[in-house]
Amino acid sequence: MGRKLRAALGIKGLLCIASLATIALALVYYTAVVTITPVQQFIIGATTDDWTVYVNDVDQLRYLPGEGTPAGSTPPGTAPNGGSSTFAFKVATDAGKACAVNITLTTPVADLANFSKFEIRVMYWDTTTVKWLDATIWDAQTGGSTKTYIDGLTGDFGYIQQPVSTSLYYLIKVTYSYDIADYATAFNVTFSYTPLPQ
């Protein structure tokens, strides 16, 4: 096979193939380096809290964090009790991406069979009015329809949406009625947040 190929190509053909191979090895090439920088848009605040509820509580308010009213009249980062205990979560977006946050309970409180109401609302710290305001809750991460609240009795969920170049602190506000059963044993309710860059 090798002799037949050499005979068919001849000396000039073999020289031509050798020249092409040399040119292919000598081709100029360029490279581009991409630096990848991960950005954290979501910062978790308080991860635990203690609420006291009473049998036959009806239409009562609780906040995460804090059993009483939201943290003071100063921004959460500089509130007197300071640090993560003054907000539920914070979202900081740059000019590149907006962010939506999915909010739900890992287990609906109806499974505990003691609440007749567990309405979850979201508040944000407004630096212009210097107070907590109700955030808009959406039924989809990209928009959709607005919701009055997230129903914690079911597997309901909602989203807050934050535009680019914004930094906001958020609280969770719950209106509940604990009036179905007389339970004296403590139990946990877990709020789940999923940041979704847009």
Residues 52, 78: one domain? yes
Asked whether residue 141 carries a pLDDT value surpassing 80, the answer given is yes
**Averaged confidence pLDDT in the chain:** 81
Structural domains in the chain (count):
2
Say which DSSP state 56 is in.
Answer: T
What CA–CA distance (Å, rounded) separates 99 from 160? 8
- With respect to residue 36, please indicate whether it lies within any of the assigned structural domains: no
Q: For the segment 34-76, what is each residue's pLDDT rounded down to a tens digit?
A: 999 999 999 888 888 888 888 899 999 888 876 444 544 445 5
Residues 104, 173: one domain? yes
Residues 91, 11: one domain? no
Asked whether residue 196 carries a pLDDT value surpassing 80, the answer given is yes
Residues 189, 133: one domain? yes
Of 173 and 15, the structure prediction assigns the larger pLDDT to: 173
| Residue range of the domain that includes 134 | 42-197
Q: Return the structure tokens found at 30.
A: 């360029």
Of 84 and 74, the structure prediction assigns the larger pLDDT to: 84
β-pair type (89-92, 42-44): antiparallel
Preceding amide of 65 cis, omega within 30: yes
* Full-model pTM: 0.77
pLDDT, residue 74, reads 46
Say which DSSP state 20 is in.
Answer: H
Residues 80, 150: one domain? yes
